[in-house]
Amino acid sequence: LETYLSKVVSNTRVKKAQKKLTEHKKILNEVSKKFGVQPRFIVALWGIETNFGQHTGGFPVIAALATLAHDGRRSSYFRGELLNALQIIEEGHISPKNMKGSWAGAMGQSQFMPSSFLSYAYDYNGDGRRDIWTTRNDVFASIANYLSSVGWRDDMTWGREVLAPSTLNAKNLSEKKTVKQMSEWQKLGLRLTDGNDLPKRNLKSRLVVPERGQGRVFLAYENYNNILKWNRSNFFAIAVGSLADQIRAYE
């Protein structure tokens, strides 16, 4: 986890995220109000997925998906994504030449698979195209629309790192995805990393111990599970939350 976070949530990326949050404050606040997603999480996902639109992938999406559809391992899934990509072109959102993405077909500054594009990409500027490649307003709105659609709540954060007593079997509770209220975790001995009591607000949360039951311990709220719907990696979700936390003051 430490190695992953040092690369994905580096000091350079944190500083750049702070700058981007300030630079695009007006549109981010508009999108935030419309979709109910805090600007810092939009910027965090944008930054981690493509380094703020800098690395979107140079593979022709149609060719990449056709290749993967021919490969036997997940051919039916990629065949479906290929048909979705063709639909996106037919609807006029992007030309075949400009439809570039990752080797697996994830596209644009938000790295949506074609199915996610059809479900969540958003035409914020109203030009008739959902452009997650070059139109920043559409990129921000698409990220926010995705999170909003899967149940994001803007009245809470993602979670937080905590200290767990040695008497608590955090690994077992994490693996079982045991959900408890904050007051219950407090009674079991969990504390903030500075040793202070947990917040008084009685949110439901679960323990996450990402490194095979060892190392750092996190209390994950409902929004953490929503980040996992974007990418099912605990490391990824913690990175998004950590980056969002470190740029919060600039919101």
Distances (CA, A) of 106 to 15, 21, 61, 156, 175: 26, 24, 8, 29, 30
Instruction: Give how far the C-alpha of residue 69 lies from the chain's centroid of Cα atoms, to the nearest Å.
Output: 26
Whether 84 shows a pLDDT value over 80: the answer reads yes
Nearest 5°: the CA angle 148, 141, 97 is 125
Whether 213 shows a pLDDT value over 80: the answer reads no
Confidence of residue 73 (pLDDT cuts 50, 70, 90): confident
Element spanning 230, H or E? helix 222-230
Orientation angle between helical segments 136-149 and 25-35, nearest 10 degrees: 30
Nearest 5°: the CA angle 184, 188, 193 is 100
Q: What percent of the chain has pLDDT over 70?
A: 100
pLDDT tens, residue by residue, 11-62: 999 999 999 999 999 999 999 999 999 999 999 999 999 999 999 999 999 9
3-state secondary structure of 5: helix
3-state secondary structure of 6: helix
3-state secondary structure of 77: helix
Mean pLDDT (whole number) for 137-155: 98
Q: Of how many residues is the chain composed?
A: 251
Q: Please state the pTM of the whole predicted model.
A: 0.96
Whether 92 shows a pLDDT value over 80: the answer reads yes
The CA distance from 80 to 234, in Å, is 27
